[in-house]
């Protein structure tokens, strides 16, 4: 029996705000040195599935560079290996994927060309470790046409998932896509499916005639429950959807806990990734690292506490990084404080900056549904000039520079504001009073040549993924 895998990796991930502005959600850095998609890819290889297709769509460049030939995952193979499948336009067919099932429908040639008997359909934007062989074995044991991985979720979160009810044998009797009522049970679909290939092809052809925007949760699964053998495979392990800023931040910082349920050091189930050659971490006599994950190439002269640092981050003397996620090659200036923030790649946090300050937890004015937990987010390549104070739930867009902060009263960006190139969008109720007294332990001082961003940060290679 030949098993292939198809990974859905074209999602925009808009709820991650600026973190997915230059990259697809599966390509967002995670846990210091990894990308989100690394977990699904590593699961495939660790499960001995070496025929893998990755379906991309939204901003695929970063993901394409990261995957490359697939060598870090042992997928650079003459037989099998990894293939990146992007939307294409052909006579009589559409160009963009219109739904999850439509994406697979447009790439059925991949399955037919690989002579696969079973296909595991996966999402590339979840954090978990799972042996797909066990699920395939369950599928075979039940004689199923479709097996759906499920897990129990809290009752108040059932409206975020497809919810199933099953009989005692595990066969699915009902399926409700993101039900508004709380009376449908708590057995949630994880978006992981095992199909018999011939059954999948048949239902996709039939479904596409009725619904061009074909989706597994909305169309395929409900139809199959009535005329095919659909079973639920109960998963008991760790699984998280990091599709919101709050979930991404919280899941990242949980990795700093020695008792974290996600073990990145398990040699029996390694998480593989593509990474640059960087020197070891350097922590000076002025530096201190507490309860944190610090990646290769970082230089620490200040305090890093309960935080996750990606490769090449430079923390200057007197600076504090607390309860934060900081991505590649970001430079944090002398005396700066980064508190409860997510900072993307190649950001400059100037000397004396207060990033994430105060007790004002008003939601972001533009995106109150996405930024309301007190987390401030800074986009890739932003420049925050010296001595600026930025409150909670602030969204700083990519590539902003000092012009955006010109004319601020007291050099303060209040909680709930949005910083865009050229200006700051203030919440209506903000008074923009003078900045508070700094909270850092060391008085900001003028940067020396050794502390400038050019000297402290490692410039990204033009070929490094976004």
pLDDT digits (tens, 9 = 90+) for 15-71: 899 999 889 899 999 999 999 999 999 999 999 999 999 999 888 889 999 999 999
For 362, the token pair is 């008003």
Q: What's the chain's Rg over C-alpha atoms?
A: 24
Instruction: Provide the whole-model pTM.
Output: 0.90
Compute CA distances 355 → 16, 131, 299, whole Å: 19, 41, 20
CATH of domain 3-243: 3.90.550.10
* DSSP 8-state code for residue 425: E
Strand partners, 171: 231
Per-residue pLDDT, averaged over 378-397, amounts to 98
Label residue 314 exposed, middle or buried (CB < 10 Å: 0-12, 13-18, 19+).
buried
- Of 43, 203, 52, give the one whose Cα is nearest residue 116: 52
Please determine, for residue 417, whether its predicted confidence score (pLDDT) is greater than 90.
Answer: yes
Can you give the residue ranges of every domain in the chain? 3-243, 282-456
SS3 content of the chain, % helix, strand, coil (to 5): 25, 25, 50
Judge whether residue 434 has pLDDT over 90.
Answer: no
Of 3.40.50.720, 1.20.1250.20, 3.40.50.970, 2.160.10.10, the CATH number of 282-456 is 2.160.10.10
Q: Confidence band (pLDDT; 50, 70, 90) for 442? A: very low
Query: Token pair for residue 49?
Result: 């599935």
- Kindly report, residue by residue over 221-272, the tens digit of the pLDDT: 999 998 899 999 999 999 999 999 999 999 999 999 999 999 999 999 999 9
Nearest one of 93, 98, 115 to 198, comparing CA atoms: 115
Q: Check: CB of residue 234 under 8 Å from CB of residue 185.
A: no
Q: pLDDT for 331-360, tens place per residue?
A: 999 999 999 999 999 999 999 999 999 999
Answer whether 3-243 and 282-456 agree in fold.
no
C-alpha pair distances (Å), 247 with each of 195, 243, 431:
30, 7, 30
Express each pLDDT in 206-225 by its tens digit: 988 888 788 898 899 999 99
| Mean pLDDT over the full length of the chain | 90
């Amino acid at each position: 029996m030949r098993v292939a895998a198809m990974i859905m990796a074209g999602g925009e991930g808009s709820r991650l705000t600026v973190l997915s502005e230059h990259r697809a959600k599966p390509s967002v850095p995670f846990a210091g040195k990894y990308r989100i998609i690394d977990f699904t890819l590593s699961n495939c290889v660790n499960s001995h599935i070496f025929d893998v297709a990755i379906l991309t769509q939204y901003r695929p460049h970063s993901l394409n560079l990261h995957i490359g030939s697939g060598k870090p995952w042992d997928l650079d193979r003459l037989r099998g290996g990894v293939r990146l499948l992007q939307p294409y336009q052909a006579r009589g067919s559409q160009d963009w994927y219109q739904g999850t099932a439509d994406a697979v429908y447009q790439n059925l040639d991949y399955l037919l060309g690989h002579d696969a008997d079973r296909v595991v359909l996966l999402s590339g934007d979840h954090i978990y470790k799972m042996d797909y062989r066990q699920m395939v074995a369950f599928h075979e044991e039940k004689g199923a046409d479709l097996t759906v991985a499920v897990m129990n979720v809290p009752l108040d979160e059932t409206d975020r998932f497809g919810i199933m009810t099953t009989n005692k044998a595990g066969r699915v009797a009902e399926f409700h896509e993101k039900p508004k009522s709380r009376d449908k049970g708590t057995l949630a679909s994880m978006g992981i499916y095992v199909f018999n290939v011939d059954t999948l092809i048949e239902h996709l052809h039939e479904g596409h005639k009725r619904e061009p925007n074909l989706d597994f949760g909305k169309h395929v699964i409900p139809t199959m429950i009535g005329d095919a053998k659909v079973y639920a495979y109960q998963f008991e392990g760790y699984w998280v959807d990091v599709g919101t800023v709050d979930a991404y931040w919280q899941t990242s910082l949980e990795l700093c806990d020695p008792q974290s349920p996600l073990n990145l050091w398990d040699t029996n189930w390694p998480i593989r990734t593509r990474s640059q050659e960087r020197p070891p971490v350097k922590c000076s006599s002025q530096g201190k690292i507490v309860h944190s994950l610090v990646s290769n190439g970082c230089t620490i002269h200040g305090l890093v506490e309960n935080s996750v640092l990606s490769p090449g981050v430079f923390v200057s003397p007197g600076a504090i990084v607390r309860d934060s996620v900081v991505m590649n090659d970001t430079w944090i200036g002398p005396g700066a404080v980064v508190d409860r923030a997510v900072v993307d790649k190649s950001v400059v946090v100037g000397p004396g900056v207060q990033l994430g300050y105060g007790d004002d937890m008003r939601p972001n004015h533009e995106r109150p549904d996405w930024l309301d937990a007190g987390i401030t987010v800074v986009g890739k390549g932003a420049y925050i000039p010296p001595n600026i104070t930025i409150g909670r739930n602030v969204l700083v867009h990519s590539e902003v520079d000092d012009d955006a902060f010109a004319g601020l009263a007291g050099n303060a960006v209040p909680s709930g504001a949005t910083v865009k190139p050229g200006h700051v969008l203030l919440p209506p109720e903000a008074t923009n009073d003078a900045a508070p007294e700094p909270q850092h332990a060391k008085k900001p001082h003028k940067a020396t040549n050794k502390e400038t961003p050019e000297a402290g940060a490692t410039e990204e290679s033009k070929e490094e993924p976004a």
